[in-house]
A = this chain, B = another copy of it.
């Protein structure tokens, strides 16, 4: 592995642990907990792991001597900066318990656990991954751990390797599965603890007890860097509107955080669009009005941040897609005989009046994509729609109309960007490097304490890392019942952007000013070696959420 100069310099960084984890610890148990909703159903589904107390680690007088512990670790789902440091923290924590402890990594995600693909992680091997981005240390994957067969198959390799605890690093679904697995192993007395770690750049795995998922900090900083650069370009050339789509399908935390960091002219927040029951045309008009207002001031340029999931949050589009899915499934044979040139008319003729109108309002290319490109289950593939281009095309049309009506007399020229892969594997910021290392080290403490069904928890995150609070949160505590693929299932509640929360309110207070005036902020690239106010700041989302408490 040829290393860059930064990689070499960064390898020597020693993540700062919460002070409490630097010595011997004891777990202090809080009150028994209950799930955030549907308590009776969740309790019934998790008879062995429901109602566990929250845990907080405190200083112990002397470490209890410990036998070696063998542990398995899985990286599950999309990459997030800092995953390698969770593993390094876990490794160091286990070695501190007993130098003969061993850590095994299952390869390419949960699939490696089921298929018995693994690698022992030694000190010499992991040293190259300390403080680096990516999940390439053992790879990741999207296999869902859900069935008894998988659990039993996995147990075979755990027994073979004498592993007594499994750490699953993943998002809300993976942690839900960790809880199910913990419950199952407990129910059969398998002698295996299962613990989760909160990972996702999307920022939607958080709640009263989990302050943030790891990776959100770094990823949003990378996106804010390039958005800032684009804004500086925009403000220098003064001739383009940049439509910038940002990863995050199920919530708009990324777009919101980047907006707070960079102060663009426009940021769409999907949760607000949904709450206000806005149509796509209303979203378009909202953008077009700001474009026109700026043009009236001579400013034919600007920036628009768009969350990837926007289209799926628009109630009217959701209804259209539902009917389209039905229609194309029911009339599949007949539709297959319709000539391409007649398909549009056919679809409009067969949709309800309301949905036909929405369909007609879409640019033809997008409408065609909706009816032609379907997934293996026959469903419309909303994720293929280039929302940033859809929006700018519709804005352009509306402006052309206003120009005819004499209401607008500017120039509108658009550039498009989509940022996602650029940030998921960046080298973790100091925040994520420390947070992840602490999450992993803390998981080792939970393992030593014999706990199962917990998520590793590190809190008080807007304070310097030495003051962070470490402990464990019962995963069932974050659960409710939701419909998934037509069946009610216990799942960790996803955190959408809270329109009453401090981050959104801060944004909403300022956005009219940002829209008309040019208030761009240019955060620049993540710094690792400079002054603390440059290198060690948490996200504004976290800062405002904590101020609001």
Q: Mark A residues whose CB is within 8 Å of B.
A: 2-10, 78-79, 108, 132-136, 139-140, 222, 225-226, 228-230, 232-233, 235-238, 242, 261, 263, 341, 415, 417, 421-427, 519, 521-531, 533-534, 537
Q: List 8 additional A-B contacts (Cβ < 8 Å) besides A134-B236, A225-B525.
A: A7-B522, A9-B533, A79-B232, A229-B421, A236-B425, A415-B421, A525-B526, A527-B527
Using Cβ atoms and an 8 Å threshold, which residues of chain B touch A2? 263, 519, 521
Beyond A108-B238, A530-B529, is A229–B425 a contact (Cβ under 8 Å)?
A: yes
Q: How far is A302 from B211 in the complex, measured between Cα atoms in Å?
A: 35
Q: How far is A232 from B128 in the complex, measured between Cα atoms in Å?
A: 14
Most central of A235, A523, A527 by chain B CB within 10 Å: A527
Q: How far is A261 from B263 in the complex, measured between Cα atoms in Å?
A: 32
Q: Which residue of B lies closest to A236 (CB)?
A: B135
Q: Which residue of B lies closest to A108 (CB)?
A: B238
Closest 3 CB pairs of A and B: A525-B525, A529-B530, A134-B232
Work out how many copies of this chain go into the complex: 2
Cβ–Cβ contact A522 & B5, under 8 A = no
Q: How far is A263 from B108 in the complex, measured between Cα atoms in Å?
A: 23
Q: Which residue of B lies closest to A231 (CB)?
A: B425
Cβ–Cβ contact B136 & A235, under 8 A = yes
Using Cβ atoms and an 8 Å threshold, which residues of chain B touch A225? 525
A-B contact pairs, 10 of them (CB 8 A): A135-B236, A226-B422, A229-B426, A242-B421, A427-B522, A427-B525, A525-B525, A527-B527, A529-B529, A529-B531
Cβ–Cβ contact B425 & A233, under 8 A = yes
Using Cβ atoms and an 8 Å threshold, which residues of chain B touch A9? 530-531, 533-534
Q: How far is A537 from B427 in the complex, measured between Cα atoms in Å?
A: 19
Cβ–Cβ contact B3 & A421, under 8 A = no
Using Cβ atoms and an 8 Å threshold, which residues of chain B touch A230? 421-422, 425
Using Cβ atoms and an 8 Å threshold, which residues of chain B touch A233? 79, 134, 421, 424-425
> A228 touches which one: B4, B79, B228, B522 (CB < 8 A)?
B4
